[in-house]
Structure 1
Amino acid sequence: MTRLATPFTEAFGIEHPVVQGGMMWVGRAELAAAVSEAGGLGMITALTQPTPADLVREIERARYLTTKPIGVNLTILPSITPPPYDEYRRAIIDAGITIVETAGANPEPHMELFREHGIKVIHKCTSVRHALTAERVGVDAVSIDGFECAGHPGEDDVPGLVLIPAATQRLSIPVIASGGFADGRGLAAALILGADGVNMGTRFMCTTESPVARSVKEHIVAATELDTELIFRPLRNTARVASNEVSREVVQILAEGGEFADVRELVAGARGRTVYENGDVEAGVWSVGLVQGLITDIPSAGEVVRRTVNQAVAELRRVGSLIVEPVLG
């Protein structure tokens, strides 16, 4: 299989510039290991595990499935009762993880400890200004999320076609393009725009190793790029989720002047988790990207990695063949 070597693959010791997003309730051992075993970079989501000890056990399960590099996503957000982040950080270190994806808050408070233990850090950003801050505090790479992404796209509403080159022309560290990627056409486009790889969330959520219920995956296959909602817009905490009765109700309540308290029960994380576990796509709000409109099947995660790279190579060769050199003389 042909490889695409980029500064990201070389720095992080992986074969292919394809990263599996660190999705809440989805980034578990089987999925992460399958992506890594195929040569990409799989991510276990730390806070999906109830305790730091559970995270260590999940990492051990993944290591049983592959000997290739695996990363851990640690998303740090303001909370009235925050998780024990220090303990999760220590669990990551004690488990021997060498790649961490941070998201949410500024990663600076975590950099010294991670650096001391030789851990490379990818920070997830939704703007160039945040990416520049992450570079300044010493992260090894950034994952830049365009407006198309699932989850939180930020408040600038800049799509990847502009955001990716805007970031790559100002950063000197590897940039991973995220939001709107599902295949090799996207990977080829990201590389041409200056990125060093792609991060795919929704695409990997819709694979056989994903712990999400089959009916949710079938719903993604049947959906189009029009079937998402942007909730929390009036609160300036925008999130892209699947369009269903619950998310549409949330949008309506907030558009009519409602406050977060008025939708708190509708958007409870426990309800969203039941969607993934039980397969009732109307049970709560759940994250999915515009890219679901490009997803037409439920393959293995390894197949996604392999065909994404192979298609990207073919597309890059096709584009190269369009060049017509002038005839001299």
Structure 2
Amino acid sequence: MTDNADRSPVATDARPRLSTRFTEALGIEYPVVQGGMMWVGRAELAAAVSEAGGLGIITALTQPTPADLVKEVERARTLTDKPIGVNLTILPSIAPPPYDEYRQAIIDAGVTIVETAGSSPEPHMQQFTDAGIKVIHKCTSVRHALKAQSLGVAAVSIDGFECAGHPGEDDVPGLVLIPAAADALSIPFIASGGFADGRGLAAALALGADGINMGSRFMCTVESPIAQAVKERIVAASELDTNLIFRTLRNTARVAKNSVSDEVVRILNDGGQFPDVQPLVAGARGRKVFEQGDIEAGIWTVGQVQGLIHDIPSAGEVVRRTVAEAKQRLQERLAQFA
């Protein structure tokens, strides 16, 4: 399916105002963030989101070297003069990337907003703070959010169990996690996992969040650099078409349901260990999915929210109609209590 038509019930030509603590802290127009995604967060997509008033994010480790990251940020700046963030995901690895060099590249590029994820941002906070960079830390629990708050981050992105990628091991969905975070945190926070449209933004705001982060929804846009076949697969899929892999290893990841992820689940459920599935989950195979469009080539990440994604619009259209629909939904619901 390649239909790019707007299926939203709301008009998108107006630019409603929607200011929250998050937009004020980050200097953006709308509380809609395009999350940092491996192989997806490149200049064209990030710039399109930011130009529409949201916050686009370039993924640092998608770039092969720190110098390439600086060039990618510069390329994004030729497409928009609005704020753009960079994601730096820190994960345990046998051969870890040069995180310190990527951090310095972010600083050298003049980036003012960073999304950290994967593990504690503490090793990076001093240099980012000294450089005037505001940090949004992505986490999957209230306790981790409180730790990030104590480290001085500007905002938190709280990721519910519905999300793509790593949902943590607590299995707490957004309907509980978002208000729990609202009760505990004093800094702005945005809700992640399960958001695709204005209904989700309205719900997140009602639950106490200051905005939303969307990953899978922005994967499925015109500017997203992944293959058209993958976008069409997301449109065709339902909320049931994901697998949770690595559950038995206590390193859960939500990925697209295909023959490869089915096999990974089977092997691990039968008592296998990581070496038994390592060839199946190699990152190079996942990259092949995104670049060549072979959805059975490897493991690739998408969230349950794909069941709410029905078209392939521009990224700017996603931002505009999400905000417009959220405003309409909130007004309609409040009118019922008038």
Q: TM-score, normalised by structure 2?
A: 0.95
- TM-superposed deviation, 1:312: 0.2
Task: Give matches, 1:199-214, under 5 Å.
Answer: 199-214=213-228
What is residue 310 of structure 2 aligned with on the other side? Answer: 296
Equivalent-residue separation in structure 1 for 2:196 and 2:312 (angstroms) = 12
Match of 2:68 among 51, 54, 59: 54
- TM-superposed deviation, 1:246: 0.2
Q: CA offsets per residue over residues 227-262 of structure 1, 9 Å max, x none?
A: 000000000000000000000000000000000000
Task: Give the share of equivalent positions with the same residue, in percent.
Answer: 78
Q: CA offsets per residue over residues 92-123 of structure 1, 9 Å max, x none?
A: 00000000000011111111101101000000
Q: CA offsets per residue over residues 172-193 of structure 1, 9 Å max, x none?
A: 0011100000000000000000
**Aligned-partner SS, 1:176:** strand
Equivalent-residue separation in structure 1 for 2:82 and 2:291 (angstroms) = 28
Equivalent-residue separation in structure 2 for 1:224 and 1:111 (angstroms) = 39
What is residue 174 of structure 1 aligned with on the other side? Answer: 188
What is residue 262 of structure 1 aligned with on the other side? Answer: 276
What is residue 287 of structure 1 aligned with on the other side? Answer: 301
What is residue 125 of structure 2 aligned with on the other side? Answer: 111
- TM-superposed deviation, 1:13: 0.3
What is residue 161 of structure 1 aligned with on the other side? Answer: 175
What is residue 253 of structure 1 aligned with on the other side? Answer: 267
* 1:98 and 2:112 are equivalent in the alignment: yes
Q: CA offsets per residue over residues 287-327 of structure 1, 9 Å max, x none?
A: 00000000000000000000000000000101110114xxx
What is residue 318 of structure 1 aligned with on the other side? Answer: 332
* 1:194 and 2:208 are equivalent in the alignment: yes
**Aligned-partner SS, 2:184:** coil
* 1:39 and 2:53 are equivalent in the alignment: yes
| Matched letter for residue 186 of structure 2 | S
Q: Relative CO higher for 1 or 2, CA cutoff 8 Å, sep ≥ 6? A: 2
- TM-superposed deviation, 1:2: 0.8
* 1:183 and 2:186 are equivalent in the alignment: no
| Matched letter for residue 166 of structure 2 | H
Unaligned 5+ segments in structure 1 are 325-329
What is residue 70 of structure 1 aligned with on the other side? Answer: 84
Equivalent-residue separation in structure 1 for 2:187 and 2:72 (angstroms) = 30
* 1:18 and 2:32 are equivalent in the alignment: yes
| Matched letter for residue 55 of structure 2 | L
What is residue 327 of structure 1 aligned with on the other side? Answer: none
| Matched letter for residue 242 of structure 1 | A
- TM-superposed deviation, 1:79: 1.2
Equivalent-residue separation in structure 1 for 2:320 and 2:35 (angstroms) = 17
- TM-superposed deviation, 1:264: 0.1
Following TM superposition, the consecutive aligned residue runs of length 4 or more in structure 1 with deviations greater than 3 angstroms are none
**Aligned-partner SS, 2:78:** helix
Equivalent-residue separation in structure 1 for 2:159 and 2:178 (angstroms) = 8
Equivalent-residue separation in structure 1 for 2:191 and 2:134 (angstroms) = 18
Q: CA offsets per residue over residues 258-296 of structure 1, 9 Å max, x none?
A: 000000000000000000000010000000000000000
Equivalent-residue separation in structure 2 for 1:29 and 1:230 (angstroms) = 30
- TM-superposed deviation, 1:68: 0.1
Equivalent-residue separation in structure 2 for 1:272 and 1:109 (angstroms) = 29
Equivalent-residue separation in structure 2 for 1:51 and 1:245 (angstroms) = 32
* 1:9 and 2:43 are equivalent in the alignment: no
**Aligned-partner SS, 1:124:** strand
**Aligned-partner SS, 1:72:** strand
Equivalent-residue separation in structure 1 for 2:161 and 2:119 (angstroms) = 19
Q: CA offsets per residue over residues 6-31 of structure 1, 9 Å max, x none?
A: 00000100000000010000000000
Unaligned 5+ segments in structure 2 are 1-14
Q: CA offsets per residue over residues 123-150 of structure 1, 9 Å max, x none?
A: 0000000000000011010000000000
Equivalent-residue separation in structure 2 for 1:266 and 1:3 (angstroms) = 46
| Matched letter for residue 218 of structure 1 | E
Equivalent-residue separation in structure 2 for 1:267 and 1:66 (angstroms) = 36
Q: TM-score, normalised by structure 1?
A: 0.98
What is residue 230 of structure 2 aligned with on the other side? Answer: 216
